[in-house]
Chains A and B, each alone.
Chain A
């Protein structure tokens, strides 16, 4: 079955620390990849996306993610986190074979940044 795994459930960092959140999906096939973020009290927002081309994609607020096809991974990175990055982060995968745009989400990672 199609599934998405996020390795870290809860991450605590100090400001200016570097961030890497892991995301793996269950098997191959052509995929579209997304990271969503949910700030406290707000709705899910698209952080970045990968459809094709350069496997290193840049999103909003200094975030980037790298697609490694051989590892079925799409890890999220930020060189220096800020207190305002405190939020829940979700990785989501669309398998193009579904032809529906359906997203399978990981269970989410809660990031807490200490000032």
Chain B
């Protein structure tokens, strides 16, 4: 049974750095093809993917946020950490982590895959 849970501060001040931790069970990030992603959702708005990390430490970032994001993994602790620098009130959102499997398409090669298991999300408010 795969489960994921996000943790971190509920309130951060503008310009601060946000650090979120995803703790998971039911799979290993040392297994070939396995990955974890971060997705966020501002209140009343759509989902926005942020970052991905795979078993081989391959990392992918949303182009619009790449300069502010860092994703890392600790395989021994079954954790993935996302840091986002220079937080702004527009970054107020629910942040989710999710399990993902690397996908192979015979014509286009490898691609990120879909998010099949999600954490419950953690609400982060950016305000002074």
Our verdict on whether A and B bind, yes or no, reads no
Binding site for A on B (CB under 8 A): none
Binding site for B on A (CB under 8 A): none
